[in-house]
A and B are shown apart, each in its own frame.
Chain A
């Protein structure tokens, strides 16, 4: 693209001045060429060095993602400055180039609305800092660790090791949940116990389960909240605090321990019950089981059935 613009600029300038194209080459003297070459040889490594230094310094002083973006901005700005300087040194007039670039810029502007929006959203994300690199965040259905916060997008590594790229604009518009922002988290376990159980006793058992678990924190203290009367159970919410690193492990161990402890203490965890009534007037009705007397299938083919008068039995058919 740059070469095309350059060629276009050269042609425009040559036609405007009435100078043959071959003569243009003579304008670029050896001295200017050497200076341009030195600028490239020194300038490119310098741009790399400065951008890296800015990136490291910003990452250390402010945040890693700010460092990434600051480094990239310095890098591109440095390269653009170097390119303009080299072209000026070679004697090219930048006015026609900028004119052409302006036309192209309008076209590009229309085409890159989304990109610009993402860049601006990225600046907001950096300023607001809702998360940093290595935080565990949830955006819509995507849960993962932040790999990088770039000018255009945020990259996540999901817990099952998938790579997710979320445009910055989407992030700014979405609800972002940062699961690792604070050092401690509460694990809420929803527990249902049978109606016959004493909630006070169940509460004491749950507190003891929390006290016995090495990952549960003594403070903030665990909580048990009576959530309400369910269809088949008394619904309790058992909240236990732990460090963010232990949250996943506690989720497994605590629920296993609640189940084991309830089993040991004889606390019933009910499954949904349905009791059907046939009305208050309905009495129990007697059932008689009629057993067929089966003749010995002496000459018949297997599977044939004979209608034989049945014999009444009043028991549960234990003689079958």
Chain B
């Protein structure tokens, strides 16, 4: 299976050569010395400095590739304009998840395998987020986990203008099975459990079905594992980073949190 994503894939870099690629706000520079690869990631608006170069000692004939990857932490999605989901209501929203750029060394015995499966893509050298992400906390003051914060318009439809190679479009089906309205202010996406699909410059994830049972119950999350119908004819380009069970239970909506109380 050949990868058909634009901008991603193998890099031709001979000794003494230098090249750069841009993914969103990230400018990735690569320089090949005799038996070394120098890598530097910098972001729009921030001047790169020499100290940012990272050196990797490799063999002269090692080949390199850049692959799209999911963020390495939970992503907290916050709609710019929060909305309410009525009791027994259902909504399908599309959220853009920023992709990470993963620089890998292509293992020789997998030269023809361009699938981005984590176990087949070769040795991971470096990973850079394609945009500058803010950190946030998902949990309570005494327990929880560090997450990335992503603002979204939470669109109800996908148009061409929102498709960019460094974002994965994630369809969310939110179902409010409780007897009270659900304010959707922010919700958490466990991106490690997502599958990536893509073609041309569009990257999609599998569909996520979230069922909300009430403020005192945990929500259930299901990852379908298949491409959404909106994606059209796409290929699977990466399996989940962690094999989640089909139905996960966890805190998904921020109304379960109590972070705003007290100072």
Asked if A182 and B141 sit within 8 Å, CB to CB, the answer is yes
Asked if A221 and B141 sit within 8 Å, CB to CB, the answer is no
Interface: A232 (CB within 8 A)? no
- CB proximity of B10 to chain A, nearest CB, Å: 31
- CB proximity of A260 to chain B, nearest CB, Å: 15
What residues of chain B lie closer than 8 Å to A214, measured between beta carbons? 132, 134-135
Interface residue total, chain B, C-beta cutoff 8 A: 17
Partner of B260, one of A182, A183, A221, A243: A221
Interface: A99 (CB within 8 A)? no
Asked if B149 and A218 sit within 8 Å, CB to CB, the answer is yes
Partner of B263, one of A211, A217, A218, A225: A225
Interface: B53 (CB within 8 A)? no
Candidate in A219, A221, A241, A243 with the most chain B CB atoms within 10 angstroms: A219
- Closest A residue to B138 by CB, please name it: A219
Interface: A228 (CB within 8 A)? no
Asked if A219 and B76 sit within 8 Å, CB to CB, the answer is yes
What residues of chain B lie closer than 8 Å to A211, measured between beta carbons? 134
Interface: B94 (CB within 8 A)? no
Asked if B134 and A220 sit within 8 Å, CB to CB, the answer is no
What residues of chain A lie closer than 8 Å to B143, measured between beta carbons? 183
- CB proximity of B206 to chain A, nearest CB, Å: 27
Given contacts A182-B142, A239-B263, contact A217 B132 (CB under 8 A): no
What residues of chain B lie closer than 8 Å to A225, measured between beta carbons? 263
Interface residue total, chain A, C-beta cutoff 8 A: 17
Interface residues of B in 174-195 (CB under 8 A from A): none
- Closest A residue to B143 by CB, please name it: A183
CA–CA, A14 and B138, complex, Å = 76
Chain B at the A interface: SS class: strand
Interface: A223 (CB within 8 A)? yes
What residues of chain A lie closer than 8 Å to B76, measured between beta carbons? 218-219
What residues of chain A lie closer than 8 Å to B134, measured between beta carbons? 211, 214, 216, 218
What residues of chain A lie closer than 8 Å to B135, measured between beta carbons? 214-218, 243
Asked if B137 and A184 sit within 8 Å, CB to CB, the answer is yes
CA–CA, A211 and B142, complex, Å = 23
- CB proximity of A235 to chain B, nearest CB, Å: 16
Partner of B136, one of A183, A217, A223, A239: A217
- CB proximity of B188 to chain A, nearest CB, Å: 11
- CB proximity of B143 to chain A, nearest CB, Å: 7
- Closest B residue to A188 by CB, please name it: B263
- CB proximity of B111 to chain A, nearest CB, Å: 38
CA–CA, A216 and B137, complex, Å = 10
Given contacts A214-B134, A214-B135, contact A219 B149 (CB under 8 A): yes
- CB proximity of B67 to chain A, nearest CB, Å: 24
CA–CA, A239 and B144, complex, Å = 20
Interface: B256 (CB within 8 A)? no
Interface: B158 (CB within 8 A)? no
Interface: B259 (CB within 8 A)? yes
- CB proximity of B73 to chain A, nearest CB, Å: 12
What residues of chain B lie closer than 8 Å to A215, measured between beta carbons? 135
What residues of chain B lie closer than 8 Å to A239, measured between beta carbons? 263
Asked if B137 and A217 sit within 8 Å, CB to CB, the answer is yes
What residues of chain B lie closer than 8 Å to A218, measured between beta carbons? 76, 134-136, 149
Asked if B259 and A219 sit within 8 Å, CB to CB, the answer is yes
What residues of chain A lie closer than 8 Å to B263, measured between beta carbons? 223, 225, 239
CA–CA, A241 and B142, complex, Å = 13
What residues of chain B lie closer than 8 Å to A221, measured between beta carbons? 259-260
- CB proximity of A187 to chain B, nearest CB, Å: 13
What residues of chain B lie closer than 8 Å to A243, measured between beta carbons? 135, 137, 146
Contact with A along B139-170 (1 / 0, CB 8 A): 10111101001000000000000000000000
Contact with B along A205-229 (1 / 0, CB 8 A): 0000001001111111101010000
Given contacts A183-B143, A243-B146, contact A219 B137 (CB under 8 A): yes
- Closest B residue to A211 by CB, please name it: B134
- CB proximity of B179 to chain A, nearest CB, Å: 28
Asked if B260 and A241 sit within 8 Å, CB to CB, the answer is no
CA–CA, A216 and B260, complex, Å = 16
- Closest A residue to B145 by CB, please name it: A183
CA–CA, A60 and B146, complex, Å = 25
Contact with A along B230-263 (1 / 0, CB 8 A): 0000000000000000000000000000011001
Interface residues of B (CB under 8 A from A): 76, 132, 134-139, 141-144, 146, 149, 259-260, 263
> Please, could you name 30 A-B residue pairs with CB atoms under 8 Å apart, sorted by A?
A182-B141, A182-B142, A183-B137, A183-B139, A183-B142, A183-B143, A183-B144, A183-B146, A211-B134, A214-B132, A214-B134, A214-B135, A215-B135, A216-B134, A217-B135, A217-B136, A218-B134, A218-B135, A218-B149, A219-B76, A219-B136, A219-B138, A220-B141, A220-B260, A221-B259, A223-B263, A225-B263, A241-B137, A243-B137, A243-B146
Q: A225-B263, A241-B137 given; name 6 further pairs at CB < 8 Å.
A: A184-B137, A218-B134, A218-B135, A220-B137, A221-B259, A223-B263
The 8 tightest CB contacts between A and B, nearest first, are A218-B136, A218-B149, A220-B259, A219-B136, A218-B134, A217-B137, A182-B142, A217-B136
